[in-house]
Amino acid sequence: MIWKNSSEIIGIDIGASSIKIAEISWQNNTPILKSFGIKKLADNIIEDGLIIDNQQLMNTLKELLIASHINSKSVVIAVGGGSMFARELIFPMMSKEELKEAIKWDLDKYIPYTPASYYYDFSIVGNGMTEKEIKVLLVASPIENVNQIISVIKSLGLILIAIDIEPLALYRTVIDAKQSIVIDIGALLSQVTLFQNDSPAIIRNIPIGGNHFTQIIMKKLGLAFQEAEEMKHQQSIHSQIYTDSEYKEVQRQMDVLVSEITHDVQRTAEYYQQEHANSMIDKVLITGGGANLQHLVHTVSKKLHITTILHNPLEKLTIPITFDKTYLQQVAPQLSIAIGLALRGDNKW
């Protein structure tokens, strides 16, 4: 990883269906949102986490940087979703050099990728169960995935200062995530991260994303994708041109998807609490492009019986008065990872 001090950082979040960017400048240790932008990706540019069309992705990102009036060069990017592996490990107390050798010796036991096919890194994130143990977060991503993203960034003349993981980027945008679960609803999947004592203890992917809700509306109401996408975020998808039975069937199938997500979240929490009897979970935060689905927060809270809130990644930032606050608040959940990446700056965390 490359490090460089800079007072202005661009966070770039390349998702399955769109690119999100956020530029943050620092004044007197205060982060200010200088600019931001979101641009849809054409189909078949990214599949299963791999970039299929480098040139088209580079062109799209270049257009977004220009449209967002971003002139800074220092960039932080992320790996996540199916292209990232993360695991919490416990080791006896030892020096960082000793830990490095211990992890390297057993890498193939920890990481489910073919040997020599991935990059990896680790960080000590706290104490283990006793004072003689340390807790370590080990992360890895396939070499091909990482190199592709680096190539696109460098082709645009940008300076890569860090490669991060999405859960840590999200963590930086939360005021208090010490004992929480963050559900990041992307286009194709949802990433669930259980945080304990400032560290992501469990990270898992659920193969349900915002597009799955859109597809239900498309199929049941006979709409094109964009029409269904817009209707999904309205106060109610009920309309006089649709019968009550059509409307109720859409709601029923969407509720089934929410139930599947919450069921997996609940299993994740129960598994961790069985292994760690003293662990606590005090809230659930929902973020990502699919977070604005109407009634989602209320439904998840009702099903999990725990305080659930729509995450606002802008809480730590100063927002210029020239920005359209209504629009920014509307797209804020989509910008969570990009903002968190920009907040990293040249810090390890």
pLDDT in tens, 4-47: 445 799 999 998 889 999 999 988 888 999 999 999 998 888 87
d(CA 17, CA 300): 24
pTM: 0.89
d(CA 79, CA 205): 13
The average confidence (pLDDT) of the chain is: 87
Span 208-218, mean pLDDT? 92
The band of 239, judged by pLDDT with boundaries at 50, 70 and 90, is very low
| Residue ranges of the chain assigned to CATH 3.30.420.40 | 1-173+313-349, 175-312
Residue given tokens 């039975």 in the structure block: 245
Q: Are 333 and 293 in contact (CB under 8 A)?
A: no
Q: What is the CATH number of domain 1-173+313-349?
A: 3.30.420.40
Residues with Cβ within 8 Å of residue 16, at least 6 apart in sequence: 41, 46, 81, 186, 187, 188, 209
d(CA 194, CA 283): 10
Residues with Cβ within 8 Å of residue 49, at least 6 apart in sequence: 81, 82, 83, 145
The band of 240, judged by pLDDT with boundaries at 50, 70 and 90, is very low
Residues with Cβ within 8 Å of residue 260, at least 6 apart in sequence: 206, 208
Strand locations in 128-287 (E): 133-142, 159-165, 179-185, 190-196, 199-206, 283-287
Identify the residue with better confidence: 61 or 250. 61
d(CA 318, CA 328): 13
Span 248-265, mean pLDDT? 90
pLDDT value at position 235? 47
pLDDT value at position 147? 92
Q: What architecture (CATH level 2) is domain 175-312?
A: 2-Layer Sandwich (3.30)
Which of 27, 28, 120, 20 minimizes the C-alpha distance to 76?
Answer: 20
